[in-house]
């Protein structure tokens, strides 16, 4: 698993997550899975998400790990506001989504493995077409 429950301690106090989830680790795991899925959805078009999220321990990208934690915390605290600075968690979530959007748009290029096609070539997206026909008469 890319992100373990005990690794959330750098983003949320254990007593807070325990109170919100009522000591049910399944709830925490579901929210972690949702966070990983959301991060993957932003990175999938440009990067090899299977390689990124199958990495373990120190092979994981630290920034992607922290962003995933922030998004997971946001999902965890939604049901309750138990001694949590809600606005701070919301800001971190919005910041993570903003960064991921920039990556998805190609404005930021993190050091991640690129997505490849079935031949092993780097998969690229490109657009082609033309402007609408200009019709004028004199």
Rounded Cα distance, 13 and 5, in Å: 12
Considering the domain boundaries, does residue 10 fall inside one?
yes
Considering the domain boundaries, does residue 117 fall inside one?
no
Considering the domain boundaries, does residue 40 fall inside one?
yes
pLDDT at 20: 86
Expressed as residue numbers, the domain containing 63 is 5-105
Rounded average pLDDT over 30-48: 93
Considering the domain boundaries, does residue 138 fall inside one?
no
Q: How many CB atoms lie within 10 A of CB 70?
A: 22
pLDDT at 138: 66
pLDDT at 133: 78
Q: Buried (b) or exposed (e) across 90-119, using 16+ Cβ within 10 A?
A: eebbeebbebbeebbeeeeeeebeebeeee
Q: What is the residue-averaged pLDDT of the chain?
A: 86
Rounded Cα distance, 47 and 129, in Å: 25
Write phi, then psi, for 122 (nearest 5 degrees).
Answer: -65, 125
For residue 29, is pLDDT > 80? yes
Considering the domain boundaries, does residue 48 fall inside one?
yes
Q: Worst-scoring range by mean pLDDT, 19-28, 48-57, 76-85, 91-100?
A: 76-85
pLDDT at 132: 79
Rounded average pLDDT over 53-67: 95
Considering the domain boundaries, does residue 62 fall inside one?
yes
**Burial, 129: exposed, middle or buried (Cβ in 10 Å; 0-12, 13-18, 19+)?**
exposed
pLDDT tens sequence across 75-118? 998 877 655 667 788 888 899 999 999 988 888 888 888 888 77
Q: Buried (b) or exposed (e) across 42-57, using 16+ Cβ within 10 A?
A: bbeebbbbeebbeeee
pLDDT at 28: 95
Q: How many structural domains compose the chain?
A: 1
Q: Are 75 and 15 in contact (CB under 8 A)?
A: no
pLDDT at 126: 62
Rounded Cα distance, 80 and 86, in Å: 9
């Amino acid at each position: 698993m890319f992100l373990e429950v005990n690794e959330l301690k750098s983003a949320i106090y254990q007593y807070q997550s325990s109170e919100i989830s009522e000591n049910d680790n399944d709830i925490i795991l579901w929210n972690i899975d949702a966070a990983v899925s959301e991060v993957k959805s932003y990175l999938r078009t440009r990067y090899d998400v299977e390689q990124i999220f199958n990495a373990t321990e120190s092979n994981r990208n630290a920034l992607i790990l922290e962003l995933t934690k922030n998004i997971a915390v946001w999902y965890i605290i939604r049901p309750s506001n138990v001694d949590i600075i809600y606005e701070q968690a919301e800001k971190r979530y919005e910041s993570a989504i903003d960064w991921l959007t920039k990556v998805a748009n190609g404005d930021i290029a993190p050091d991640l493995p690129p997505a490849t096609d079935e031949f092993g070539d780097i998969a690229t997206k490109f657009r082609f077409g033309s402007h609408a026909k200009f019709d004028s008469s004199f």
